[in-house]
Amino acid sequence: MEASNFLFGELENNILMLVALRTVVMFFIILIFLRILGKRGVKQLSVFELVVILGLGSAAGDPMLYMEIGIVNALIAFSVIVICYKIFTLLIFKYPLLENFFEGRPVYIIKKGTFAINDFKKETLSKDEFFMELRLRGVFHLGQVEYAILETSGEVSVYFFDKAELQYGLPILPHYIEKIVTHFEIGTRYSCLFCGETIAFQKQTSPTCPRCQKSQWIAASNRSHQA
């Protein structure tokens, strides 16, 4: 196989120029149609909006590369996709159950400094990913967090306790999570690594967590400032 065929295929130079020109045209068409979709359709993609973007990308790609497909074909596909999107947004505004089915509902992941275990199990978000989201918002331990909500967009909203209400909680920095406690001091607070339940031990043997029945603990923290 010759290097020129490997890099450029069998297209002639004038065809390559046409591909470049069509790509520029489709680039501006995509910008226009994304503007029509509105800010929410671009910044915070729901499942349906992601389908729309993928559809637009697929419709835009063919005219860029295949000479037998005209730009008008892509414009028709774009128009149908945008019309479907507009109709769908009207329907979900009118019928909330439809929105819940396609886009889901906000889910409480943290309530009062501990995991809402049943709700968290239903989500595909891993604990490591969730802790990363909290750390990006300056969270050192779960005792700082009154509520953390997984939004339908996939983003995490965090609501902090007031300083006067700050609790002991599960530290979420990586080097703290690795420090599994095997020797316990009476009266010292420890947090369950699985659910975040925080208790003061009354004996030196490792107890089972009353919330999740797990038995891995790390030292709790009540640091008042964000990390």
User: How many CA atoms within 13 Å lie on the side-chain side of 189?
Assistant: 14
Query: What is the model's pLDDT at position 135?
Result: 93
User: Cα Rg for the chain, rounded, in angstroms?
Assistant: 26
Three-state DSSP string of 49-78: HHHHHHHHHHHHHHHHHCCCCCHHHHHHHH
- DSSP characters for 20-50? HHHHHHHHHHHHHHHHHH-HHHHHS--HHHH
Residue 149 phi/psi, 5-degree rounding, is -120, 130
Degrees to nearest 5, angle at CA 225 with 195 and 117 = 15
Report the 10 Å Cβ neighbour count for 150: 23
Q: Which two tokens stand for residue 17?
A: 């120029």
Q: Which CATH superfamily is domain 107-219 in?
A: bsu07140 like domains (3.30.240.20)
**pTM score of the predicted model:** 0.65
Query: What is the model's pLDDT at position 47?
Result: 66
- pLDDT, average across residues 88-113: 83
Q: Over 80: is that where the pLDDT of 212 sits? A: yes
Q: What is the percent of the chain where pLDDT is above 70?
A: 76
Residue 55 phi/psi, 5-degree rounding, is -65, -45
Query: What is the model's pLDDT at position 173?
Result: 93
**1-39: pLDDT as tens digits:** 566 554 455 555 666 677 667 767 776 776 676 666 554
Alpha-carbon span 210 to 60, nearest angstrom: 56
| Residue extents of the structural domains in the chain | 3-100, 107-219
What value does the mean pLDDT of the chain take? 79
**29-45: pLDDT as tens digits:** 766 766 665 544 444 56
The region of weakest confidence among 31-40, 48-57, 192-201 is 31-40
- pLDDT, average across residues 159-178: 91
Q: H/E element holding 81?
A: helix 71-94
- pLDDT, average across residues 67-86: 79
Q: Over 90: is that where the pLDDT of 190 sits? A: yes
**108-135: pLDDT as tens digits:** 999 999 999 877 776 667 888 889 999 9
Q: Over 70: is that where the pLDDT of 225 sits? A: no
User: How many CA atoms within 13 Å lie on the side-chain side of 156?
Assistant: 23
- pLDDT, average across residues 62-74: 75
Hey, which of 3-12, 78-87, 185-194 has the most confident mean pLDDT? 185-194
| Helix orientation angle between 96-103 and 47-65, rounded to the nearest 10 degrees | 60
Question: Alpha helix locations (H) across 95-190?
Answer: 96-103, 117-122, 127-136, 174-177
Q: In this predicted model, which residue has the larger pLDDT, 105 or 133?
A: 133
